[in-house]
Amino acid sequence: MPNDINSEINRRRTFAIISHPDAGKTTLTEKLLLYGGAINLAGSVKGKATARHAVSDWMEIEKQRGISVTSSVLQFEYDGFCINILDTPGHQDFSEDTYRTLMAADSAVMVIDAAKGVEPQTRKLFKVCVMRHIPIFTFINKMDRDANDTFDLLDDIEKELGIATCPVNWPIGSGKNFKGVYDRTGRAVNLYYDTQKGTKEGETHIIGLDDADALRAEIGDAAYQKLVDEIELLDGASAEFDLDTVRAGNLTPVFFGSALTNFGVEIFLKHFLEMTTTPLARKSDAGIIDPTEHDFSAFVFKIQANMNKAHRDRLAFMRICSGRYDAQMEVKHVQSGKVMRLSQPQTIMADDRKILTEAYAGDIIGVFDPGIFSIGDTIACPKDEFRYEGIPTFAPEHFARVRQLDTMKRKQFVKGVTQIAQEGAIQIFKEIGSGLEEVIVGVVGVLQFDVLKYRLENEYNVEIKLEPLPYEYIRWIQNYNEVDVPRLTGTSDMKKVSDLKDRPLLLFVNEWSIGMTMERNEGLVLSEFGSAE
């Protein structure tokens, strides 16, 4: 690969930000963009309001805009790096797409609220990062508010998530007594300044730990003594920093700061860019595809259906895995064998869409989908045949029985639910051995139920009734060829269903039932992820 293409690829950093709603993901993203000069003032990034709106408003907004920009990507330049941030929507927008987005990232930044520690949504997204062995960086946010004890916060991450932690810096106090952070490698304190008004760099005031008098004068005797004691404890107790362990996803570097007041954000960004990886190689059925050694290739990780009836088109998001893409080139959709030019390839810079002329491995592009792309599909050069490893199916947590109100419209109903399921917005299941007259729908976020109802009515002219079911857990039977599924015995509330590919699955009301079923059926192997095959 020519040098200029190599250097373009090697300066790319593509990561996702994960957090529980309200931990400060949006605020941190805004501040990061501020450093990239992508926006002038924090506060103007993406449709934050969108995520907060009630369902009906959300539909309205989707309609007005034509296409949703939720779960999209933001690109900006900083210090010679070209940075792609993948947004993972939370709140009601939480869906399987949120998980799939992580398949396109090379690392993840986990934002944690210092007063709350690890919360459920973080835990779920974290599991997907672990499955992919991607590096995870932790930003403990809101230090300007009263925070939990720092050692307790680290303990919480280690116990809840099972990953070792290595603080890169260490907070001095919190809330009204927040004085700044101690940088362990530089052995110096960055004093806290509130720079939320949008000044980019803010004020930086650094005092070395050895300059005890100056430090005491700034932070007070008590805070100074506490810091010295804590550092001693920390140096003795915490895991050694080791970049290979970080990159293997087994150790998370931890940073402290306050996104709202823009403190600790640039320190984080600088360290993060040093530690995170260039675009990672990906597995395909022809072996590992190296980003700089192969010509253009990409895979589709998300399909965004247009909610606007007047525009039935869909947008497919793909992650470029190798080489350089330019808008003139012909590419092959490997699954169909079709050779084509991608239509209106675009990237999203801050809150703007931009038609792009070229892109490199690490970048994410959105293209209009003429109706041929599916999640997990490979796009490559016309000469290539390889396919990237597919994207697993993630376990839905909410289930409902769907009935059509007008039984005369059976055909439309089956077509509608099947198409919407193929796009990956919902998962559908049926009673083992029966057809699709009546289906069970599983979703990751409850908003998807409304999306399904809305789309069936508007696009397929089918009215439905959704009856919530009590199941919360689904497990794929990994070794279904070896077990006699009809004879499996579980708890009385367990339900056997099959998916569109006729693979058997089990639905459970609680985790206890999963344990009981495992106990009663020796040799049964259950999985939280459905394989992509």
Asked if 345 is part of the footprint of ligand G4P (rule: CB under 6 A), the reply reads no
Inter-helix orientation angle 221-237/212-219, to 10°: 120
**# binding residues, ligand G4P (CB under 6 A):** 16
Separation of CA 70 from chain center: 12
Asked if 146 is part of the footprint of ligand G4P (rule: CB under 6 A), the reply reads no
Within residues 403-442, the interface with ligand G4P by CB under 6 A covers none
Asked if 302 is part of the footprint of ligand G4P (rule: CB under 6 A), the reply reads no
Q: Report, in Å, the least distance between residue 9 CB and ligand G4P.
A: 30
Whole-angstrom distance, CA of residue 110 vs CA of residue 136: 7
Asked if 142 is part of the footprint of ligand G4P (rule: CB under 6 A), the reply reads yes
Strand 169-172's sheet: what is its strand order?
169-172, 180-183, 188-191, 206-208
Q: What angle do CA 463, 370, 105 make, to 5 degrees?
A: 95
- Report the DSSP beta bridge partners of residue 498: 430, 504
Asked if 144 is part of the footprint of ligand G4P (rule: CB under 6 A), the reply reads yes
Asked if 46 is part of the footprint of ligand G4P (rule: CB under 6 A), the reply reads no
Of the candidate residues 14, 19, 498, 517, the single one contacting ligand G4P (CB under 6 A): 19
Whole-angstrom distance, CA of residue 518 vs CA of residue 515: 5
Q: Report, in Å, the least distance between residue 474 CB and ligand G4P.
A: 27
Q: What angle do CA 255, 261, 265 make, to 5 degrees?
A: 35
Q: Report, in Å, the least distance between residue 128 CB and ligand G4P.
A: 17
Binding segment (CB under 6 A) for ligand G4P, from list 141-149, 206-214, 348-356, 449-457: 141-149
Closest CB to ligand G4P among 90 and 180? 90
Q: Report, in Å, the least distance between residue 109 CB and ligand G4P.
A: 12
Whole-angstrom distance, CA of residue 319 vs CA of residue 248: 21
Residue 198: CB atoms within 10 Å:
15
Of the candidate residues 8, 12, 18, 27, the single one contacting ligand G4P (CB under 6 A): 27
SS3 percent helix, strand, coil of the chain, rounded to 5, is 30, 30, 40
Asked if 31 is part of the footprint of ligand G4P (rule: CB under 6 A), the reply reads no
Of the candidate residues 89, 90, 253, 279, the single one contacting ligand G4P (CB under 6 A): 90
For 409, which DSSP code?
G
Q: Report, in Å, the least distance between residue 505 CB and ligand G4P.
A: 32
Closest CB to ligand G4P among 23 and 456? 23
Residue 364: CB atoms within 10 Å:
25
Asked if 70 is part of the footprint of ligand G4P (rule: CB under 6 A), the reply reads no
Of the candidate residues 9, 13, 15, 21, the single one contacting ligand G4P (CB under 6 A): 21
Closest CB to ligand G4P among 178 and 460? 178
Can you read off the two tokens belonging to residue 390?
A: 């597919």
Query: Residue 177, by phi and psi: left (phi above 0), alpha (psi -120 to 50) or beta?
Result: alpha
Asked if 459 is part of the footprint of ligand G4P (rule: CB under 6 A), the reply reads no
Binding segment (CB under 6 A) for ligand G4P, from list 200-208, 210-218, 254-262, 355-363: 254-262
Question: What are the DSSP calls for 380-402, one per residue?
Answer: E-TT----B--PPEEPP-EEEEE
Q: Report, in Å, the least distance between residue 496 CB and ligand G4P.
A: 38
Can you read off the two tokens belonging to residue 265?
A: 């954000």
Binding site for ligand G4P (CB under 6 A): 19, 21-27, 90, 141-142, 144-145, 258-260
